[in-house]
Chains A and B, each alone.
Chain A
Amino acid sequence: MEAFTKHSGKVVPLDRANVDTDQIIPKQFLKRVERTGFGQFLFYNWRYDTEGNPNPDFELNQEAYRDGSILLARTNFGCGSSREHAPWALLDYGFRVVIAPTFADIFYNNCFKNGILPIRLPEAKVDTLFRRVKDGVTQTLSVDLENNRIDDQNDFTAEFEVEPYRRYCLLNGLDDIAITLQKDDLIRKYEERLPDYYRTTVTQNS
């Protein structure tokens, strides 16, 4: 996983609450067996009409927000399905940061596994940012994970919090599977204590 320390980029406002993962990446694109190439399908049903033409009203298609890499969203972003295709699509499109008042749990967790930083800000701060972005006062943001700060170089700053361990893994781009694999002794000892009735071994021939 790519480490995340600092990122600067253009902000794209998506002024809708409860954006679910079915909208982020519709199901017809979940049939691929690869991790890459999902960016072209990001927000597909909002981004394109039924003939496949870009919908000019949708933010991602507007000139002002082209090549954005920081998504500004509303409450409960990423609710619904556990599909990791959602962060894969955001990342593949170019997003490295998502800012919202709240996130759904599984999506939030999936972001960290893919080098995307989801930032929770108080609703009032998010409101302010939406206003500033729409008025063109804020166009880009600098996000500094080392100092937990956001700055638009134009009088807007905010501090944010990330669980310390998640922050540490993201800053260092750590592979958490490798970390758990180092606990092999502990896992083995635990397995020896498993109750018999949980050893419901389902084998290929059963």
Chain B
Amino acid sequence: MRDVKPRTLFEKVWDRHVIEQEEGKPAILYIDLHLVHEVTSPQAFEGLRLNGRKVRRPDLTVATVDHNVPTVNRSLPVTDGTSAKQMETLTKNCRDFGIKLYDFHDPGQGIVHVIGPELGVTLPGKTIVCGDSHTSTHGAFGALAFGIGTSEVEHVLATQCLQQLKPKTMEVHVKGKLSPGVTAKDIILAVIAKIGTDGATGTVIEYTGEAIRNLSMEERMTICNMSIEAGARAGMIAPDETTFRYLEGRPHAPKGEAFEQAKQEWLQLRTDEGAVYDKRVELDASEIAPQVTWGTSPGMGTAVDQQVPDPESLPTETERKSARRALEYMDLTPGTPMTEIKVDRVFIGSCTNSRLEDLRAAACVVKNRKVAPGVQAMVVPGSQQVKRQAESEGLDQIFLDAGFEWRESGCSMCLAMNDDTLNVGERCASTSNRNFEGRQGRGGRTHLVSPMMAAAAAIEGHFVDIRKWNLDD
């Protein structure tokens, strides 16, 4: 007899990948796709060598360099010796263990979470891991995708499996329709502001509701990407026609009859009627305004038409203390309207918001306008493919004409491991995912926003409510 208990999307993908579940032990979970980058992998390969182990499935492993690649002219040598060594180490490891590497000069190079979907290796129902917390991005396709540490990278390389305790589930239901000028980034920032940076700890989030269904794949990736900022292990969205349209024709996606057959199976990847989540939260999309963070944690955010909050108004002493410290670091005064906060730098990029649609949205704001005097603004496409596509549409010229810098692909100033960093005291409107102290450079101050909001801040030199702009002129 078949088990007819209604299951969530997560449970369906989880159950299918459990190789063994012994009582009182973690499940042994099969991993369909392992993405690898230069920063969290060298010690894992070294571990394999020390133990005389090989990579079990190099054919299910894909590598690229993204975290510390320079974003300036690619024909120049990498000047930072330690970065160069780390990239060379990955090249050697991939060569020795037979893994495909999209290296520095490869036309397929890009941020690992941008190229997976581009290549069509990210598919519904897969288990996907990477030594990177933003692996949750791939959950937008109905995959179970999560970040792991280097010891687990080694584990997957050696066994193509992981030992995992089953996480709990959480539904984030976003009903209604978004207002013009409000984006997927604003949804996820609003979710995190509502539930907190540990609101989803120990769970896998499934995003549901009309507002989520109406999003494109790239927008869904933005949502799932920042699940980790709410503490979740992963974020997932059930695959639908939007997903299939995105995937069809991708280099590694199934073709022809095989695609149709896969599609029928992928359509089963939805939460059954009557399935129960461990937690649930609901938001109304029509009530979400463009978001701007004011503090040093992604949950410290508010609507652009609000003010910097007063720490003393917060409910607990721990929160008050964190907010006081954050405002001191951010050099902000309670009660200041968010739109009066001036910026020195603007960064449009990162695995959260560096895809073609993000660049189109930002370009639409920037077109026929100029970056405010004294503001340094840059666009860093998520991949070489995004860069080429954007250039073929003339987006690069729109940004360049406005006074933006147009860079090569990589993680860049999201985490500032390369030369793209804020200086002490500089304030940045950033489309990335983390506003931690020093994240974009020691003493730098980060405000997380959507691509449109970042672009508008570049033009005006301070935050503006993008809803008030007429973007058709």
Residues of A within 8 A of B (CB): 15-18, 20, 22-23, 26-28, 30-35, 45, 50, 74-76, 79-84, 87, 102, 104-106, 109-110, 113-114, 163-165, 176-177, 179-181, 183, 186-187, 190-191, 194-204, 206
Contact = CB atoms under 8 A, between A and B. Distances in A.
B24 A164 contact: yes
Contacts of B297: 18, 20
A31 B149 contact: no
Contact of A105 (B233, B265, B322): B233
B147 A106 contact: yes
Contact of A27 (B28, B265, B415): B415
Contacts of B155: 176-177, 180
Given A35-B43, A83-B40, A105-B202, A177 B154 contact: yes
B283 interface: no
Nearest to A28: B417
Contacts of B89: 33
Contacts of B416: 27
A204 B318 CA distance: 51
19 contacts: A22-B436, A26-B438, A27-B416, A33-B42, A33-B85, A79-B197, A80-B133, A83-B149, A84-B151, A113-B152, A165-B25, A177-B53, A183-B19, A190-B19, A194-B32, A197-B253, A200-B252, A202-B59, A202-B252
A186 B151 contact: no
A156 to B, nearest CB: 21
Contact of A201 (B59, B201, B437): B59
Interface stretch (B159-167, B215-223, B390-398): B159-167
Nearest to B146: A106
Given A16-B322, A22-B438, A33-B42, A187 B198 contact: no
B321 interface: yes
Contacts of B443: 50
B201 A113 contact: no
Categorize the interface residue count of chain B. 35 or more
A176 B162 CA distance: 9
Given A18-B197, A31-B80, A82-B149, 8 more contacts: A27-B415, A74-B318, A87-B149, A104-B231, A186-B28, A200-B60, A201-B59, A203-B59
Contacts of B51: 177
Interface in B25-45: 25-26, 28, 30, 32-33, 39-40, 42-43
Given A31-B86, A186-B20, A187-B30, A84 B442 contact: no
Contacts of B439: 22, 27
B330 interface: no
Given A180-B159, A186-B28, A187-B30, A104 B82 contact: no
